[in-house]
């Protein structure tokens, strides 16, 4: 296979069976989203957001701006490099050094927000910049942009259904922007309304699980609809790290 552009390599990631943690009579599969070019599931949402913005004519003459804790920023940065779109990212200054270096290596401008305000501080700063200079910035707003869950409705859910030959009964996803769990859940329930959609979040406001949101203490993303979930689980930070 020869691709015309690296963006065509996003999606169609494999599943791997996790036999060592399966209880009797249950199959557990993990979807390997690090197979995406940017190394995370966020490549899907970033690409869909950019594709829809290009189709509307929102990007020419402006710089794509968004807040991010890291993975979406890396996705914007490499896709922007591939498609020759300028990108600026607002990140808490305490995100990992690796994420800062990778975003800059792809040519993105990095703007730092207060680390104590975590991802919410980055959101507030990005909104302020966009309001002050709307002609300079295209504010992608991954937390409110319906292209985010749509990427998973059209892609992730279809892949899981096809890969499991329709045998999937439960899907468990972390909450960051809410796009992955909302879109994947909707797509799978359109195939089978009995599928259980389970979201996981950090148990504490000050947690060490980068990219995930503790919803009770956060600005709730507009695209996140908790009433669509079957269940939400709070995961202790140490337990999350240990399992990963």
Choose among 137, 162, 160, 130: nearest CA to 44: 160
Pairing relation of β-strands 196-202 and 170-174? parallel
Choose among 77, 62, 69: nearest CA to 107: 77
Active site residue 213: no
Write down the catalytic residue from 31, 42, 100, 213: 42
Tokens matching residue 89: 């990212």
33, 159, 198 from 184: Cα distances, Å: 13, 10, 11
Tokens matching residue 135: 């002609």
* In contact, 89 and 119? CB cutoff 8 Å: no
What are the b/e assignments for 75-106, b being 16+ CB within 10 Å?
bbbbbbbbbebbbbbbbbeebeeebbebbeeb
Question: Please, which residues have CB within 8 angstroms of residue 24's CB and are 6 or more apart in sequence?
Answer: none
Region of residue 166 (left: phi > 0; alpha: psi -120 to 50; beta: else):
left
The set of catalytic residues is 42
């Amino acid at each position: 296979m020869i691709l015309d552009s690296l963006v065509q390599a996003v999606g169609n990631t494999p599943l791997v069976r996790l036999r060592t943690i399966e209880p009797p009579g249950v199959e557990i599969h993990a979807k390997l989203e690090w197979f995406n070019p940017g190394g995370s599931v966020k490549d899907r949402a970033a690409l869909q957001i950019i594709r829809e913005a290009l189709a509307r004519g929102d990007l020419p003459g402006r710089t794509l701006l968004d807040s991010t804790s890291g993975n979406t920023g890396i996705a914007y940065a490499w896709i922007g490099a591939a498609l020759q779109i300028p990108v600026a990212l607002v990140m808490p200054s305490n995100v990992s050094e690796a994420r800062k270096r990778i975003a800059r290596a792809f040519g993105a401008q990095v703007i730092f927000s207060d680390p104590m305000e975590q991802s919410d501080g980055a959101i507030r700063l990005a909104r302020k910049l966009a309001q002050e200079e709307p002609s300079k910035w295209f504010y992608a707003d991954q937390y409110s942009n319906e292209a985010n869950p749509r990427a998973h409705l059209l892609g992730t859910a279809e892949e899981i259904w096809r890969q499991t030959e329709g045998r999937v009964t439960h899907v468990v996803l972390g909450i960051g922007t809410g796009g992955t769990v909302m879109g994947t859940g909707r797509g799978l329930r359109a195939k089978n309304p009995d599928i259980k959609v389970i979201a996981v979040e950090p148990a504490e406001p000050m947690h060490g699980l980068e990219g995930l949101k503790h919803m009770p203490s956060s600005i709730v993303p507009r695209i996140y609809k908790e009433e669509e979930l079957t269940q939400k689980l709070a995961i202790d930070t140490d337990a999350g790290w240990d399992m990963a």
